[in-house]
Structure 1
Amino acid sequence: MTAATQGGAGRAGAGAAGASRAARAAPTAPVFDSLSRTTWIDVAVLVALSLIAVAGFEPAFGHYAFASAAVGGILVGGGVALLGRLLRLSWLLTAVIALAAYFLLGTPLALPGQALFGVLPSLDSLSGLVLGAVFGWSDAVTLQAPLEAPPYVAVVPYVAGWLVALVSVSLAVRWLPRRGSRRAPVGRAAVLLVGPALLLLAAILLGTRDPFFAGVRGVLFAGVALVWLAWRRGRFARDRVETDTAVRRSRLLGGAAVVLGAVLVGALAGAVLAPPAASRFVVRDEITPPFDPLDYPSPLAGFRKYTKDLQKTKLFTVTGLRQGQVIRLATMDSYDGIVWSVAAPGSDTDASGAFELLGSTIPRPPLFTPGIASTASIDVLGYSDVWLPTLGYTDRLTFDAHTGQDPTTTVRVNTATGTAAVTSGVRDGLSYTVGATAQKIPNDRALAKVPPAKLTLPPVTNVPDVVSAKAEEYAGSADTAIQKLRNIERSLKSLGYLSHGRASDPVPSRAGEGADRMTDLLSKSPMVGDQEQYASAFALMARRLGYPTRVVMGFAPKVTGSTTTVTGDDVTAWDEVAFDGVGWVPFFPTPTKTDAPKNQTTKPKLEPQPQVRQPPPADPRAEDLLTPVKTKDNDPKDKTSGFSIPVWVWVVLGVIGIPLLAYFVPLLVIAALKRRRRRRRETTGPPDRRAAGAWDELADGYAELGLTIPERSTRLQAASSLEQQSAAQSLPVPDGGLRDLARHVDAAVFDGTDVAEQRVQTAWGATDRALSEATKAAGPLRARLAAFRYRRPRRA
Structure 2
Amino acid sequence: MSASRRRSAAQQRREEKTGAWKSTLAVAVAIGAALIGLTPLLQGFGWWFATMAMVVLLLGVAATLRGRGVPEVTVVAVTAIVWGGLVVVLYAGSTLWFLLPTLSTLTDISGDLADARLSIAQQEVPAIADGAITQLIVMSVGLIAVIADELATGLRTPVLSGIGPLAVLAIAPLVRKTEPNVAVYVLTAAAFLAVIWCSSRIGSGPPRLKTRPTVKGGRNPALAFGIAAGAVATMIVLPAITPGLTAESLADDGSGNRFPSVYATGIDPTIQLGRDLRRSDPVLSLTYTTTSTEGLYLKMVNLGDFSGGTWQPELPLNAVGYDGQDFGTPPGLAPDVPVEEVATTVSIASLRSDWLPLPYPTKRVDELAGTWLLTPTSFTVTDLQGDTRGLNYQVTGLAVNPTAGQLAEAGAVVPDAVHDYLALPDDLPAVISSTASEVASGAVTNYDRAVALQEYFRSGQFRYSLAAPVSGGYDGDNAQMIAAFLEAKEGYCVHFAAAMAVMARTLGIPSRIAVGYAPGQTADGTTEGRPVFEVYTDQLHAWPELYFDGIGWLPFEPTPGLDITPPDYSLPDYALAGGAGSSASNQSTSTATADPNAQRDDQQNAFGSLTPEQILMGQIRGWGTFAAVLGGIFVVVIAPWTVRWARRRSRLRRLATDELPGTLAWTEFEDTLDDYRVQRSAGDTMFDLERRLRDDVELPEPAIDRLRRQVEYEQYAPPGSADGPTRERIRSDLVALISALEGRAPTRERYRARLLPASLWRRRRTATPTGTLVP
- TM-score by length of structure 2 reads 0.49
- TM-score by length of structure 1 reads 0.48
Q: Report the structure number with the largest CA radius of gyration.
A: 1
Identify the structure with bigger relative contact order (alpha carbons < 8 Å, sequence gap 6+).
Answer: 2
